Copies of this chain bind each other. A is one copy, B any other.
Amino acid sequence: MGMNCNRVEHFEEITMRTQTEIPIHQVRLPPERTLLNKLKQRLSEIFFPDDPLHRFKNQPSFKKFLLTLQYFFPIFEWGSQYNLKLLRSDLISGLTIASLAIPQGISYAKLANLPPIIGLYSSFVPPLIYSMLGSSRHLGVGPVSIASLVMGSMLSETVTYAQNPTLYLQLAFTATFFAGLFQASLGILRLGFIIDFLSKATLVGFMAGAAIIVSLQQLKGLLGIVHFTNKMQILPVLISVYNHKDEWSWQTIIMGFGFLAFLLTTRHISSKKPKLFWVSAAAPLTSVILSTLLVFLLRNKTQHISIIGKLPKGLNPPSVNLLYFNGSYLALAIKTGIVTGILSLTEGIAVGRTFAALKNYQVDGNKEMMAIGIMNLAGSCSSCFVTSGSFSRSAVNYNAGAQTAVSNIVMASAVLVTLLFLMPLFYYTPNLVLAAIIIAAVVGLIDFQAAYKLWKVDKLDFLACMCSFFGVLFISVPLGLSIAVAISVFKILLHVSRPNTMVLGNIPGTQIFHNINQYKEALRIPSFLVLAVESPIYFANSTYLRERILRWVREEEEQIKAHNGKSLECIILDMTAVTAIDTSGLETLGELRKMLEQRSLKLVLVNPVGNVMEKLHTSKILDTFGFKGVYLTVGEAVAGISSLEKAQP
């Protein structure tokens, strides 16, 4: 390994400098706190990292009331400064997203195996509620593809809409209820960090897998197949497409792929020139109108093209009576609710944060969770299924110049008009155009570039991504997700259970010690071995670390023997990156000191951070290291020990 080749005897120099210049500093214990105080601080870091109450400090009580109101209903915050200029922008953007929301709503409801009208209901009530509670100004609210897909797939494996429509509706609304309850609880209990465990790598893989499954499922509509599998795995879907070849209808295929090509072209145009965002925003409605007209005009020659058919007119009917709180399917509803709740929350919050970052304002994660949760709770009582902030609609909203959540109100009003007066117009809308809209929407979720970047930067992230991708494709959506989360957690645990240790060397002419692998100019100091541990010391790695440190010592001694160097006297353990320690770790440090002592090697610690120092102290391990066993910097440790040895040779 050539460990000793750059070992130069500049050790005298350091000692000399240090003795004259650098005083030895003592490592301090952090200020003492009571148990209650510690607990309070720890809990506030866990649950209130953003210190949501800081705005209330030193305010008169009326102002406090106003701030509270504004906190829970952000509409009061921006409402007072609302003006005509803002309204004009919001009106334009609201109408633009409405043109997208209506066809998307109908399509996504079909994705969830629900009647199309539910998708329109879901684009009416939830956006109104969000506009009062939400803190994002650009979020376009309504049904989202991933959550719709997951709800459809999870419920349909047990109950199908065709066989038992009432039960299916009951389960869908109940799942929405639990999704909302779960989301609001996360917000209220400030447990938002749970969704952070869906890493971006996992989501990239998950979304790509889901997009492929969804697209393949749409072959039903695009090819005109009548009998189709309920399963969500790739193989059954492909087999089903192949087995029902006799049902393929050429009229449907030509029209379907035509509109798909049109939609994909407009998407491509808008992605190349962001100013032309309206091209892709208007394309779905244009397709719906064109295809409906076409089918209407050719209605005598197109019996093979399946159409939406009659849709009921009127506003959302109440659905409280359909909520289902006991019986054998309750567990399924709860499970579906939680999974769709997590997924829609993840999308909603990520989208909200993205656009907030672009306009440099803050979106409060926990508050958003409450807003989305309450919106879904209300939705479940008014015939809506799971909704959230959708990426495509928010992007259009942002590009169309939305300024506040009023654009959601405008959109909801447009949907209201549709629900009240325009429903008969959808009678001849062919299902194939909905399939094309869904495919065009989800194809954008396949992000090759992100996957390539994962591969380049972090192989384990890429592995998590691939696992969630193939898990979704071949096993099932919830299992694919669980596998991916497990891999992400395993990655953290692996990092903890096999932490990095390294040898530090002195950068000549300084008091700086650094990794000799990274800094080729760094030099070892004779008779010292400076090691840094790059991780907390826990039960999960304490045994490993003890063995690894002993191996470093063994290797160093072998090197010294081979090169006839000065024999090893002291091991310096740089604890800067040891950010925590538990009882096993403390024991390991004590044992290590004892084992090295038996070989007449000294072990000293450098720079234990606050809470580690505290634990070393309370566990009495510090006493065994003695007054001269802990130093503030590696340089001071080297200088201190050398001068000690000179004093008593």
- CB atoms of A25 and B507 under 8 A apart: yes
Assess A518 versus B200: contact at CB under 8 Å? Given A582-B458, A619-B457.
no
Q: Does A584 contact B (CB under 8 A)?
A: yes
- CB atoms of B586 and A457 under 8 A apart: yes
Q: Does A618 contact B (CB under 8 A)?
A: yes
- Contacts of A196 on B, CB cut-off 8 Å? 497, 539-544
Q: Which of B201, B360, B498, B633 contacts A598 (CB 8 A)?
A: B360
In chain A, positions 150-196 with a C-beta closer than 8 Å to chain B are 193, 196
- CB atoms of A618 and B548 under 8 A apart: no
Q: Does A284 contact B (CB under 8 A)?
A: no
- Contacts of A610 on B, CB cut-off 8 Å? 502, 515, 517-518
Assess A458 versus B583: contact at CB under 8 Å? Given A492-B493, A498-B49.
yes
- CB atoms of B538 and A492 under 8 A apart: yes
- CB atoms of A22 and B510 under 8 A apart: yes
Assess A582 versus B461: contact at CB under 8 Å? Given A196-B541, A197-B539, A536-B495.
yes
Chain B's closest residue to A488 (CB) is B539
Stretch at the interface among A26-34, A336-344, A369-377, A429-437: A26-34
Task: Report Cα–Cα, A201/B587, bound state, in Å.
Answer: 12
- Contacts of A502 on B, CB cut-off 8 Å? 610
In chain A, positions 517-574 with a C-beta closer than 8 Å to chain B are 517-520, 534-536, 538-544, 547-548, 550-551, 554-555
CB proximity of A596 to chain B, nearest CB, Å: 11
Chain B's closest residue to A25 (CB) is B507
Chain B's closest residue to A35 (CB) is B459
- Contacts of A422 on B, CB cut-off 8 Å? none
- CB atoms of B51 and A551 under 8 A apart: yes
In chain A, positions 80-119 with a C-beta closer than 8 Å to chain B are none
Question: How would residues 459 to 476 of chain A score, 1 for a CB under 8 Å from any chain B CB and 0 otherwise?
Answer: 111000000000000000
Q: Does A19 contact B (CB under 8 A)?
A: no
Q: How many residues of A contact B (CB 8 A)?
A: 99
CB proximity of A35 to chain B, nearest CB, Å: 8
Chain B's closest residue to A636 (CB) is B512
- Contacts of A12 on B, CB cut-off 8 Å? none
Q: Does A453 contact B (CB under 8 A)?
A: yes
Q: Does A401 contact B (CB under 8 A)?
A: no
- Contacts of A193 on B, CB cut-off 8 Å? 497-498, 540, 543-544
Q: Which of B23, B457, B547 contacts A583 (CB 8 A)?
A: B457
- Contacts of A583 on B, CB cut-off 8 Å? 200-201, 453-454, 457-458, 461
Point out which of A460, A491, A555 has the most chain B C-beta atoms below 10 A from its C-beta: A491
Task: Report Cα–Cα, A622/B517, bound state, in Å.
Answer: 20
Q: Does A500 contact B (CB under 8 A)?
A: yes
- Contacts of A579 on B, CB cut-off 8 Å? 495, 499-500, 534-535, 577
CB proximity of A210 to chain B, nearest CB, Å: 19
- CB atoms of B498 and A46 under 8 A apart: yes
Q: Does A591 contact B (CB under 8 A)?
A: yes
Q: Does A138 contact B (CB under 8 A)?
A: no
- Contacts of A9 on B, CB cut-off 8 Å? none
CB proximity of A349 to chain B, nearest CB, Å: 9
CB proximity of A237 to chain B, nearest CB, Å: 31
- CB atoms of B461 and A518 under 8 A apart: no
CB proximity of A460 to chain B, nearest CB, Å: 8
Q: Does A66 contact B (CB under 8 A)?
A: no
- CB atoms of B197 and A458 under 8 A apart: no
- CB atoms of B547 and A50 under 8 A apart: yes
- Contacts of A39 on B, CB cut-off 8 Å? 459
Q: Does A357 contact B (CB under 8 A)?
A: yes
- CB atoms of B453 and A619 under 8 A apart: yes
Task: Report Cα–Cα, A357/B613, bound state, in Å.
Answer: 26
- CB atoms of A30 and B582 under 8 A apart: no
Q: Does A511 contact B (CB under 8 A)?
A: yes
CB proximity of A106 to chain B, nearest CB, Å: 34
CB proximity of A607 to chain B, nearest CB, Å: 8
Q: Does A265 contact B (CB under 8 A)?
A: no
Q: Does A365 contact B (CB under 8 A)?
A: yes
CB proximity of A504 to chain B, nearest CB, Å: 11
Q: Does A247 contact B (CB under 8 A)?
A: no
Extra contacts, 8 of them, besides A49-B551, A500-B611 (Cβ < 8 A), are A23-B509, A54-B555, A193-B497, A193-B498, A199-B584, A201-B583, A453-B619, A514-B632
Q: What are 16 A-B contacts with C-beta separation under 8 Å? A: A23-B509, A28-B518, A28-B519, A35-B459, A199-B584, A200-B583, A200-B587, A202-B539, A357-B591, A453-B583, A457-B583, A457-B586, A496-B496, A517-B610, A518-B610, A577-B577
